[in-house]
Structure 1
Amino acid sequence: MLGERSDRSDRTRDRLATLRERIDAGMDRREFLRTVVTGGYALGMAHYLGVDDFLAASDDEVPVVTALVRSDPDDPFSLEERVRYVPADWYAAVENAFELNELLARVAFTGYLGSAVVPGDYDSGTASISIGVSSAESSIPDAIREFADDVSIDAESFIEIEDVEVRPDSAEPRILEDPVGGAPSGVACETPSSMATLGPALYDPSTERSFFTTAEHAFEGDGDPVGDQLTVPIQGAEQLDLGRVSRAHPIADVAAIEPNGSVAPTSWIDAPTPARVRGQLTRYGLADLLARDERLEKVGALTGHTTGRVQGVDAVTCFTEDFCRRGQIRWGGEMDLTDGDSGSVSYYRDPEGDDGDVLVAGFNNARTWWPGQSYVWGISAYRLTEKHGYHF
């Protein structure tokens, strides 16, 4: 008898898994309800399957997760999903564009320098892909266009991209005035070889540890930077030792620094208007901002506080290395970042949070320096979570 109950339980789990897969593949609400009734499921299975939001949407809308937000502002591990309902035709177009962009990154045809998904506004129900190609290989293979369906492709050709232009800076770096309460994001930090911007606290849910963070490329010494020291200059005093690099991720361009106990990593950003990190945006959260023509903010050690619009999401960047960086965000303009600003984050004011709450969009690691394009790029927060488990 016990074996029979176990077999029935296994079959039920298999049927529920199949139903969940059909929902993810595009089953509409009417078909879902018919399946529930004819299949003998209880309507309470909607909660078990995690499709309450699916049933709450109207016929021409679908729910998407736009952010991971702390339910308790003081507990960085109390993340909950935030859902927004978006037009179904817009969602389908953007999803197709994400899939095509992933195909482009996998194929990486000769001359491919990168690409980004550019969702249209909600009324248009469209999405496009911006592709960069070298001038010597300015055409996109016909096989790629065959997969495009209703996604428009905007190709731009570039002359050979030279080494990174080093822009002379006359601005004084933003120096931490008082370390009491921790070291906030947006102030200058120093590695053994250069200056960068300190990012907000980065959390590892698997160990419930917190880290200081900045750009990995700021550690320009030979080899692995693990063990290198990170410090912050203090106004009118000697520099403060924060700790040493515990984990380095060169493709993500992120370094996680183990605190040495002198001060703790903080979720505060030293912005003109107080900013406290309450969570982070997802891929569809970024797509939503672009669809609504919203702006991001950042605070860098050299350029300070700037704002700019999102230009592309889920971007692939192959401009600077012999490998491609995926899950990038493009926003603002090239003047929003300069040498010394790397390690800062782009963020968005949380419309549903308390005053000063913000959601991190991504790291700021570099800017364009070639004619024809102007934006800042860096790894998106959601990609950092997907690949390495961290969150803000």
Structure 2
Amino acid sequence: MYDERSDRSDRRFTALRDRIETGMDRREFLRTLAGGGYALGLAHYLGVEDFLGASDDEIPAVTALVRSDPTDPFSLEERVRYVPADWYAAVEKAFELNELLAQYGFTGYLGSAVVPGAYDSGTASVSIGVSSEASTLPEAVREFADGISISTETILEVEGVDEEFEFAEPRVLESLSGRQAPSGVACETPSSLATLGPAMYDPETERSFFTTAEHAFEGVTDPIGETLSLPLRADTQADLGVVDRAHPVADVAAVSPNPSVVPSNWIDAPEPVRVRGQLTRFGLADLVARGEQLEKVGALTGHTSGRVQGVDAVTCFTDDVCRRGQIRWGGEMDLTDGDSGSVSYYPDPEGEDEDVLVAGFNNARTWWPGQSYVWGVSAYHLTAAHGYHF
């Protein structure tokens, strides 16, 4: 039976939780509890014990999903970091503005990205790329910005630029050690060479997949059923499996493994590293605020690192769709043909020495003058859109 008092109370709790998530500071939260006659036990009901543990000018932000048990990929737990409340509110507002830009899609819009400021600045900005045919930035967008800095850059000659690559010998495994194939090495589709990504998991079915870039299966309309193999020394190869799921917008192919091989959490870096989890959207924002770098291991360019330049990015440079939830990091020399399918990652600050957190896939790089970065779909967006995690 409908209980009006219970419903009204639930709505108050929901409103309070929403205010916490949009930047309410700790003192305001405590005043709200006292003024509303609530007990501090409500913190458990709302799931905000971390919030009460912060200082007056900080709030907790979930920065990563990490396995409590390294051997169990489905034991993910949230990792929390306390961040300045004014910075959090500015970044959240920049995320909203960036989403509005993507939805608005004004003439000449080629993409945009959120660039969080340093923690002590309490700011964030949105960088927008436009073509020479761009119309004026819509007034509604400027009005919504509300203190968020907007920078606009005209991008010329996005199409028709010849790419020049120096030939490099791909990184090929000597042999399979046991049944596991580490990532960061070359893999082959029927039409091209790419980089093998680390094991990707579907929590709904508890299945594990080999991964690489969907665009590596060029020349076919639908790569479902196409094979993925692992070239080995001595001109041999291992059959990894067939494409079970393809996501062209995210540019990710999930390959169902053959019974003889198992997707691995290890990346074949100069000092091999183990995937322990993945970064969230605010985890990436935290890296920008602290000036941190991501790393990757590609089949052609090997191990490189570079600063994170933008998060929650939208890219409309290729195809007929805009890709959302992208990361911009490093420089154009950090990726070349054959590196697609690799992942960018960051050392887990609370894990073992070999543990890392995946930021996202590397799918492309800039090839036009004036900008230099690698882009690809973030792990958090892949989780939100398709349910997978690392």
TM-score higher than 0.5 here? yes
> What aligned pairs does 1:1-392 form with structure 2 within 5 A after superposition?
12-137=9-134, 139-163=136-160, 165-181=162-178, 182-392=180-390
Deviations 1:259-306 (A, max 9, x none): 011210001000001200000000111111011111110000000000
Deviations 1:3-58 (A, max 9, x none): 69x77665654443333233334443334334434544332221121111111111
In 2: Cα distance, 1:156 partner to 1:14 partner: 43
SS where residue 123 of structure 1 aligns? helix
The unaligned stretches of length 5 or more in structure 2 are: none
In 2: Cα distance, 1:97 partner to 1:18 partner: 22
In 2: Cα distance, 1:346 partner to 1:34 partner: 42
In 2: Cα distance, 1:170 partner to 1:160 partner: 25
In 2: Cα distance, 1:313 partner to 1:13 partner: 34
Conservation of the 8 A alpha-carbon contact between 2:23 and 2:59: no
In 2: Cα distance, 1:140 partner to 1:72 partner: 48
In 2: Cα distance, 1:93 partner to 1:25 partner: 10
In 2: Cα distance, 1:231 partner to 1:389 partner: 25
In 2: Cα distance, 1:23 partner to 1:382 partner: 21
SS where residue 145 of structure 2 aligns? coil
In 2: Cα distance, 1:136 partner to 1:297 partner: 36
In 2: Cα distance, 1:159 partner to 1:28 partner: 44
In 2: Cα distance, 1:179 partner to 1:16 partner: 54
The unaligned stretches of length 5 or more in structure 1 are: none
Identity %: 76
TM-score between both structures, scaled by the size of structure 2: 0.95
Aligned length: 389
- In structure 2, give the amino acid aligned to 1:87: P
- In structure 2, give the amino acid aligned to 1:194: S
Deviations 1:362-388 (A, max 9, x none): 100000000000000000010000000
Deviations 1:313-353 (A, max 9, x none): 00000001111000000000000000000000000011111
In 1: Cα distance, 2:185 partner to 2:101 partner: 37
Superposed CA RMSD in Å reads 1.7
In 1: Cα distance, 2:226 partner to 2:162 partner: 26
